[in-house]
Amino acid sequence: MCPSFTVETVKNRSTGQESRVCIKGEFGLKYRAVCLAIPVKVVSIDGDEAETEIGGVRRRVSIAFTPEAKVGDYVLLHTGYAITVVDEAEAEETLKLLEEIASLSEVH
């Protein structure tokens, strides 16, 4: 079974006494805070916040950096903020390019 604690020596700040204790492996959430930005769909807007949805999961986000976001747009969500509106036309272009590459390289 995966152990969920480590045993370490800890010093009591007031008495200075050292003892070995179990420290719970409270690793917080193993989420990747820094680079992680997920495309979510804007369902409704309320001032500088928006209700968004992805795969059936809903989350409220701040649109302070993307005031131009509209209902139906997709935004990239990063630690509670939308950092940009997804450019759907560009997304299509990229997929088309990838399709071309796939067909061309299949022929060879």
Partner 1 sequence: MKFIDEYQDTRLARGLARRIAQHSTKTVRLMEFCGGHTHAILRYGIRQLVPRTVELRSGPGCPVCVTASADLDKAIALAHVPGVIITTFGDMIRVPGSYSSLQKAKAEGADVRVVYSTIDAVEIAKANPRNSVILIGIGFETTAPTIAASILKAQQDRIENFYVLSLNKLTPPVMKALLDSGEVKLDGIVGPGHVSVIIGSHPYEFIPRDYGVACVISGFEPLDILLCIDKLVEQIAEGEPKVEIAYPRGVKPEGNRKARQLMEEVFEIGEANWRGIGIVPESGLKIGGKYEQFDADKAFSVSLKPSKEPKGCRCGDVIRGTATPLECRLFRKVCTPERPVGPCMVSSEGACAAYYQYGAAEDL
Partner 2 sequence: MDDTILLAHGSGGKLSHELVAKEFLPFLANPALNKLDDSAIFEASGRLAFTTDGYVVNPIFFPGGDIGKLAVCGTVNDLSMSGAMPLYLSLSAIIEEGFLLRDLERIVQSIKKAAEEAGVSIIAGDTKVVNRGQADRLFITTSGVGTVPPRVDISGANARAGDKVLLSGTIGDHGMAIMSQREGLKFSMTLKSDCAPLNRLVSQMLEVSSRVHCLRDPTRGGLATTLNELARQSNAGITIEEARIPVKEEVKAACELLGLDPIYVANEGKLVAIVDPADADKILARMRKNRYGRDAAVIGEIINQHQGKVVMKTRLGPSRIVDMLSGELLPRIC
The listed partner (partner 1, partner 2, none) that binds 70, CB under 5 to 8 Å by sort, is none
Using CB under 8 A as the binding rule, the residues of this chain from 62 to 101 that contact partner 2 are: 77, 80
Instruction: Report if residue 47 touches partner 2, rule: CB under 8 A.
Output: no
Measured from the CB atom, the residue of 57 and 102 that comes closer to partner 2 is 57
Q: Tokens standing for 3? A: 């152990």
Q: Which of 1, 34, 46, 47 binds partner 1 (CB under 8 A)?
A: 34
The listed partner (partner 1, partner 2, none) that binds 1, CB under 5 to 8 Å by sort, is partner 2
Q: What are the distances in angstroms from CA 97 to CA 49, 66, 78, 94, 108?
A: 35, 28, 27, 5, 17
